[in-house]
Amino acid sequence: MPAQSQNSVALITGAARRIGAQIARTLHGAGYDVALHCRHSRAELEALIAELESTRAGSTLALQADLTDSACLPQLIENAIARFGRLDALVNNAATFSPTSFGSITSQQCDDFFAVNARAPLLLSQAAAAHLRRSCGAIVNIIDIYAQHPLPHYMAYCMSKAALAMATLALAQELGPEVRVNGVSPGNVLWSEQPIKAETMVTLVERTALKRQGSPQDIAGAVLWLLRDAPYVTGQILRVDGGRGLTL
């Protein structure tokens, strides 16, 4: 058995960039050791790990895998255990996001959305369950406000996130009382890298109660709260959207 880390340990998928990287920085800053997963963004992941290691040596692990390959998912958990000897938190952040116009949606697109956005979080949670039970740990799934409200031109994506929302509730029921499971549904906190935008700055301001875009820090702070500071919260999906959901 590996020597057990004296710190809490979190595995974060899709951790190299954007919201995932901020979650990694926030949890690491709060004292977590972190196992950080990427698919293609290895250079960005290595840079993030170097940044975190400069503040606390021996506190990170790099993991690379294609989450559409379900056979590799248990190994991600085992690699984290082999490195740190424990697992206290799983943050299912990785997602695939792209438009799918009705009338031309393919079965492969559907398979890819559901594989990454719904199946992988479920199977990773299943693989991690025994370790999380031992530590009385927690899972946070990053969902989307559009899991409950359809976003034009993104039907397949919305469906997959709705599946993740239901998995969050079912996992909370299944894994209690030892493991808490919650979700965070971001609103607009970063501009999409897709050419077809869901919102413009004008529509964002018009439709959001706080009249501004959020930030990755807003999401990361919510994740930390659910993992560390909410011991009687499970089976909840927290909207962090500046009130955007009020007008959907």
Q: Tell me what the mean pLDDT of segment 128-144 comes to.
A: 98
pTM for the model stands at 0.95
Please give the single-letter amino acid code of residue 195.
P
| Cross-strand partners of 67 | none
| DSSP annotation string for 104-154 | S--HHHHHHHHIIIIIHHHHHHHHHHHHHHHHT-EEEEE--GGGTS--TTB
Nearest to 182 by CA among 114, 238, 240: 238
Does residue 232 carry a catalytic annotation? no
Which residue out of 32, 146, 157, 232 is catalytically annotated?
157
In the predicted structure, residue 1 carries a pLDDT above the cut 70: no
pLDDT of residue 107: 96
pLDDT, the chain, mean: 95
pLDDT of residue 5: 84
Q: For residues 36 and 39, give the distance between their C-alpha atoms in angstroms, rounded to a whole number.
A: 10
Q: For residues 207 and 163, give the distance between their C-alpha atoms in angstroms, rounded to a whole number.
A: 25
Confidence at 194, pLDDT banded by 50, 70, 90: low
Q: Tell me what the mean pLDDT of segment 215-231 comes to.
A: 98
pLDDT of residue 217: 98
Domain 9-191+215-242 -> CATH class: alpha beta
Nearest to 198 by CA among 185, 188, 206: 188
Confidence at 196, pLDDT banded by 50, 70, 90: low
- The continuous run of DSSP H or E covering 234 comes out as none
